[in-house]
Structure 1
């Protein structure tokens, strides 16, 4: 009887252009590749922030998976939600000032959506991890000093909680501590296990 040849584990691909998500996924110490999804991120008319995040996360995963049918693909998206209004990446200084002024003294819910798909087996899961962030009452001098120091113009909501941006906040409420940075690792590890990749067994040790 011929010896059983073990089936190699599937490739893991992060469908993202975000360096923050790439750095977060590296914490799981599992080999992965990165492929940039070609997805139009324009919100639909009247689309709620949570729905937008979920739609884009799944669209990113599907778009990349269409080119890598043998892989497990992660897609993720985050939209800041201020009373039902989506707040995206500012892209520049003045827009960041306006965003932080609008969030001063208020609670913003960062809607982080995660999709994991494996075309070869038909596996597809989508979930969302909301993070409630309460901003302090911020003066213009504080806003200006923060933005000049950290220049978070590629971050939804104009603040990096993992850096100096933590000084802008009164509280963070979440069940998954990395969700605010852009990739909920507790949920990611869970969905990868379901898709056939156990990060503890795949890690180099």
Structure 2
């Protein structure tokens, strides 16, 4: 999604959850135009809130759910359950721009190993299985990537698009809405986001 809002002092540009190849081109064009674009990843608690808001109430009670964010700077896996238990961990680097490139195989190996290690740790710590891994971010849109991860890990993967239908002016699917707060919580992160 690429949107510009005219203003007296400049424009705002937002691009959300797009493959790296498309993102890098737009970032380069913006940089040449004198803008300083910043690539950011979706905050874990906000992403989990969006996921739990869409899941049925009975989901993620006896089993945990995973949220794999293949984002702008790295891939992170967030695992949570409605009974308690939250783990967020960086499981891989940023996805290759071209899923058909030779780097893709190595990326998938690193990512599947990181996913399996994280699931093993969560299972040991919280004594819960992970039912499904919901994949978000531009890197999750690459053709064949989720199927390959499912085959490598033995887990079910589903595409999750928390920003689908969200417009720049605060409307969802064309309907104007105000802010919606799903959770307030007293957690914060004291370390830098690159080494979770």
TM-score by length of 2: 0.30
TM-score by length of 1: 0.29
Greater relative contact order, per chain length (Cα 8 Å cut-off, separation 6+): 1
Larger Rg: 1
